[in-house]
Amino acid sequence: MHDGPHAHHGGITMTQFSQIEGGVLVAQEFVAAANASGIKPEGLDTMLLHSRLPASAAATITSNRFRAAPTFVTERHVADGSARTVIATSGNANAATGAQGMANAEMMASLAALETHVPVSEALVCSTGRIGIQLPMDRVEAGIRACGKALSRSSAHEAARAIMTTDTFPKEVSVEFEVGGRRVGLGAICKGAGMICPNMATMLCFICTDLAISPAALNSALGCAVARSFNCISVDGDMSTNDTVIALANGASDAPMIATPNDPGYAAFAEALGFVTQDLAKKIARDGEGSSKFVIVEVTGAASYEQAHAVARAVTKYNLVKTCIWGEDFNWGRVAAAIGASGMDVDPATVQIAIGGLTAFAAGEPVEYDLYQAGTIMKSDEIEITIDLGVGQQSATCWSCDLTPTFVELNAH
């Protein structure tokens, strides 16, 4: 095992873990299957994920007031900290679908539980896609049954593809690390490209590990990881009805049990989980609908993490910043406007703004800069905006993308 990168990424320092192949099934005793059930016009659209062993479970779920039916089923079933099966469909969100939609989500849980031989309370449900249309339950049922017969250790990549909607590429990552001298696997898949502005975006993420960890400790680690990853991205500033992150831990690694965040091994797990969730969050931002540039906003010198995060989020969500990045305009004034609109107590006299390492504003006034260098910076496909608030030691990083005419075309219908 070699050291992971020693860089800071939004407050998480990576140390002892290795990135490896394997995707969501890198963890032992997890199986998956995918099927083209006809929910979408073409391609894989049904994914079944299952732990052969009992598993601790934790989830974070959208705070959108029009939450989709599956999110209520998942929230109810994960409440006891135990789950073994996840069923997910893409192409139809099963949101704003009333009592029938809720019954359909519950039926999905029942069918998935039947196929994987677990109590229905151990089955979690996710859907993503168009809002306000009832699921074609005959196709959904056939797809779940087909997945039940096809569960295997070799379907990780198919599982990643089955949850895609407007994504242009599947998003998966896996790592290994050690707890008590035993190898632990941690893998995840996610989808998301549009409607990305999570608190808790449209985004789904499924995380599997063979670590033995209590539901309370897993929930703690997941909450921290999500706060500094998926809640740090913005594609179009819209919060989805279906956003869900689920983590399952089945203990198959034989590593020592982690009961609380104070136990040995918790820090290693939290760091690995932080890397996995940030890697996937950045992939979502890079895959923003119609986007051409990846945007990193780093805020330093803040009085608190909350202040740094709020300012970074404000800049990533500010459409006039996103459009000028698409237009390759070194418009630092829009960054300043976004900072000022963040709701945080910020004093322009202490703020410094740089784009691509080129300082444009400091000590309350503009700084002269080379126009040619500024133009060259904006032609890059990766733009880094750095903001020093000048009042403390805390920092936060958020990720976004530009806002393009293609995005408007994709979302006009």
Bridge partners of 127, per DSSP, are: 89
How many C-beta atoms surround the C-beta of residue 201 within 10 A?
28
Instruction: Provide the annotated active-site residues.
Output: 202
Q: For the chain, report the end-to-end CA distance as a whole number of angstroms.
A: 49
Give me the residue label for tokens 């963890």.
27
Q: Where are the beta strands (DSSP E) in 192-305?
A: 204-209, 233-234, 244-249, 294-302
Sign of the CA dihedral with 234 first, then 237, 242, and 244 last:
positive
**DSSP for 289-347, written as a single string:** TT---EEEEEEEEESSHHHHHHHHHHHHH-HHHHHHHHTT---HHHHHHHHHTSSS---
Surface-to-core class of residue 7, CB atoms within 10 Å of its CB (0-12 exposed, 13-18 middle, 19+ buried): exposed
Rounded to whole angstroms, how far apart are CA atoms 380 and 358? 14
Q: What's 256's DSSP letter?
A: P
Residue 308 burial class via C-beta count within 10 angstroms: exposed 0-12, middle 13-18, buried 19 and up: buried
- Beta carbons of 18 and 176 less than 8 angstroms apart: yes
